[in-house]
Amino acid sequence: MRKILVFLLAMIVIFSIAEPLKVALLLNGRLGDKSFLDSAGRGLEMAVEELGIQGKVIEANYNPANWRPYLEDISDQDYDVIIVGTWQMQEILEEVAPMHPEKKYFIFDASVDYNKSKLDNVYSMIYKQNEGSFLAGALAALITTSGIPKTNPEPVIGFLGGVDIPVINDFLVGYIEGAKYVNPEIKVLISYVGSFNDPAKGKEISLAMYRHGADIIFNVAANTGIGLLEAAKEVDRWVIGVDSDQALMYESTDPEISNHIVTSMMKNVDNSIFRGLKLHLQGKLGYGQVESLGIAEGGVGIADNKYYRQIVPEHLRSEIAQIEKKIISGEIKVGTVFEMSQEELNQLRASVKP
């Protein structure tokens, strides 16, 4: 009898060890944006392939009315870890997570308010997009040719934002500061579309910015930014991609778009999701807290691909590399919208108005 009990206990231990971690990635949108959400999907895919987890991507699309019901339904299922992202999911997660203390949750690109309720089962990842955007702004200022014609003595670059909200303006702050670091006289055309899912409007506004003198525009508009990429191709101008390496994502389907993407400001959602799941499996992940990932932590940076090397001369790439080192060392301190008043943000925007 004792031998049978020992055998049964051993089998229970074996099966408990062999059971893979079940992870759900809930997207408040859908795959195919060639940017932020695709990067999250890649992170889960990497974890499936390399960590042996069992993962599923669930697309809730862009209707906010769907998001809480989806999260509640997933939380009632047998997933061990549930991953959501963006500021739009913050309040929903703050309400749902305490109802399921046995579950673990990640939120990327946002942080829950740990003072609001008991959220010991939530790990928040935010990114220092201002640091990566500083590099994007410096690069735009270095390669722009819009200041060369005598009719336009001031160089002009552009910024396309999805919505006028703090996280998007954190990109803007870094972009402006990086551009002014290279050229204090530079001007920046700034436009917000008012949506993260309107490529047609994104294209229309981008074409207008190109017509008004910008020869390079920074894409910070998620799915809307697809319109900017199409505009750059149409009028033969430059663009800096965002979140994912957008040049590599397009090279098999539309290489002409890839040829107009100088680089992309990488918000490495994929790497951070993979890293978080790996730490979870090791029992080392800091639930109940937020972690901020910048250049030094590999959370952000710019894509060093063949297009970047072909388009940007080596001496300019070296200059960007030096700026990157100065940010890591603390010699360059990049401002953030989260430490600015609205008045200070308005003043910064006004300082680069053409």
Rounded to 5°, the CA angle 177-181-183 comes to: 110
Strand, coil or helix: 257 = helix
CA distance 122 to 107: 7
Question: pLDDT 10s per residue in the chain (354 long)?
Answer: 555 554 445 444 444 456 899 999 999 999 987 677 888 999 999 999 999 999 999 999 989 999 999 999 999 999 999 999 988 999 999 999 999 999 999 999 999 999 988 999 999 999 999 999 999 999 999 999 766 444 456 799 999 999 999 999 999 999 999 999 999 999 999 999 999 999 999 999 999 999 999 999 999 998 899 999 999 999 999 999 998 899 998 999 999 999 999 999 998 899 999 999 999 999 999 999 999 999 998 899 999 999 999 999 999 999 999 999 999 999 999 999 999 999 999 999 999 999
322-to-13, 60, 135, 179, 186 alpha-carbon distances in Å: 52, 42, 10, 15, 21
CA distance 281 to 127: 22
CA distance 252 to 249: 7
Give the amino acid at 251: E
**For position 134, what pLDDT does the model report?**
98
The label of the residue with tokens 């525009």 reads 217
Which tokens in the block code for residue 156? 């002009």
Q: How many residues does the chain have?
A: 354
- Chain centroid to CA 303: 13
Strand, coil or helix: 321 = helix
Task: Match domain 129-266+313-351 to its CATH number in 3.20.20.70, 3.40.50.2300, 3.90.550.40, 3.30.70.20.
Answer: 3.40.50.2300
Closest CA to 129 of 267, 224, 291, 262: 267
**For position 32, what pLDDT does the model report?**
84
**How many CB atoms neighbour CB 292 within 10 A?**
12
Half-sphere exposure of 182 toward its Cβ, with a 13 Å CA cutoff?
26
**Domain boundaries of the chain, sorted by first residue:** 20-127+271-293, 129-266+313-351
| Residues whose CB falls within 8 Å of the CB of residue 300, separated by 6 or more in sequence, listed in order | 127, 128, 129, 131, 132, 265, 266, 267, 268, 293, 294
Phi/psi of residue 204, nearest 5 degrees: -60, -45
- Chain centroid to CA 14: 39
Architecture of domain 20-127+271-293: 3-Layer(aba) Sandwich (3.40)
Q: Are 311 and 262 in contact (CB under 8 A)?
A: yes
273: left (phi over 0), alpha (psi -120 to 50) or beta: alpha
Domains 20-127+271-293 and 129-266+313-351 fall in the same CATH topology: yes
CA distance 284 to 278: 9
Closest CA to 171 of 225, 231, 112, 243: 243
- Chain centroid to CA 112: 17
Q: Are 141 and 184 in contact (CB under 8 A)?
A: no
**For position 206, what pLDDT does the model report?**
98
**For position 273, what pLDDT does the model report?**
95
Which tokens in the block code for residue 244? 């994912």
Which tokens in the block code for residue 224? 């809307």
**For position 33, what pLDDT does the model report?**
73
Which tokens in the block code for residue 95? 């309400």
Q: Are 53 and 47 in contact (CB under 8 A)?
A: yes
CA distance 93 to 111: 10
Q: Are 72 and 40 in contact (CB under 8 A)?
A: no
- Chain centroid to CA 173: 15
Residue spans of beta strands (DSSP E) within 203-278: 216-220, 238-243, 261-267
